[in-house]
Amino acid sequence: MEIPPDDGYTWRKYGQKDILDSRFPRSYYRCTHKNYYGCEAKKQVQRLDDDPCTLEVTYCGSHTCKTSPTPIRIPSLARSPIGKDENDDTNCHGHPQAAPTTTPFTSIQLGNWFEGSSRQEGQTQSGRDVDYCPVAELADAMFSSGSSGSIMDAMYLPRPGN
């Protein structure tokens, strides 16, 4: 299991499928307390066949459980939404009702963001408390910059010299 960029929330993997578009399987994540807070926020993590070191995380829905449960300190996604307020549809593929007004999709590509960041010991699962990566900041950057269009403009591709 790879270490998907933590945006300040806890995600619980609910599925993994191998898609034809990529040579790598796509992982599906949901909010850990979705059943408690009704957080419809979802996250898809897929490795790019072009850059196996790059993880493309696609966010779907909105976080309704933000700044409540987890002791996270994320001033980025914790504040106002994507610059809109009618983003309450929490739909991305259109199951209940279509919401083509605002596609709540956010594709950010993370390279070896974890390389030499906070990996000091050997455990990569227990370190999800306070010692989080700058991914949240980069997410904030794109959230503040590209709300509905120039998301790809704020893409974060480190390219570790590959």
Partner DNA sequence: AGAATTTGACCCCC
Partner DNA sequence: GGGGGTCAAATTCT
Q: In what order do the strands lie in the sheet with 42-47?
A: 11-18, 25-31, 42-47, 55-60, 106-110
Binding residue for DNA, selected from 9, 28, 132, 143, defined by CB under 7 A? 28
Residue 97 in contact with DNA, rule: CB under 7 A = no
Task: Kindly tell me the sign of the dihedral angle through the C-alpha atoms of 72, 78, 82, 85.
Answer: positive
Task: Kindly tell me the sign of the dihedral angle through the C-alpha atoms of 6, 119, 25, 32.
Answer: negative
Residue 79 in contact with DNA, rule: CB under 7 A = no
Residue 93 in contact with DNA, rule: CB under 7 A = yes
**Hey, what are 83's tokens?**
């610059």
- Specify which residues 55 forms β-bridges with: 47, 110
Binding residue for DNA, selected from 6, 30, 89, 104, defined by CB under 7 A? 30
CB 109 within 8 A of CB 48: yes
Residue 23 in contact with DNA, rule: CB under 7 A = no
Residue 21 in contact with DNA, rule: CB under 7 A = yes
- Single out the segment in contact with DNA by CB under 7 A; choices: 7-15, 105-113, 134-142, 147-155: 7-15
Binding residue for DNA, selected from 32, 67, 76, 147, defined by CB under 7 A? 32
Q: In 3D, which of 52, 30, 50 has the Cα closest to residue 40?
A: 30
Residue 119 in contact with DNA, rule: CB under 7 A = no
Residue 13 in contact with DNA, rule: CB under 7 A = yes
CB within 8 A of 38, min separation 6: which ones?
64, 65
Nearest CB to DNA, comparing residues 105 and 160: 105
Residue 10 in contact with DNA, rule: CB under 7 A = yes
> Smallest gap, in angstroms, from Cβ of residue 46 to DNA?
8
Nearest CB to DNA, comparing residues 16 and 117: 16
CB within 8 A of 86, min separation 6: which ones?
101, 102
Residue 1 in contact with DNA, rule: CB under 7 A = yes
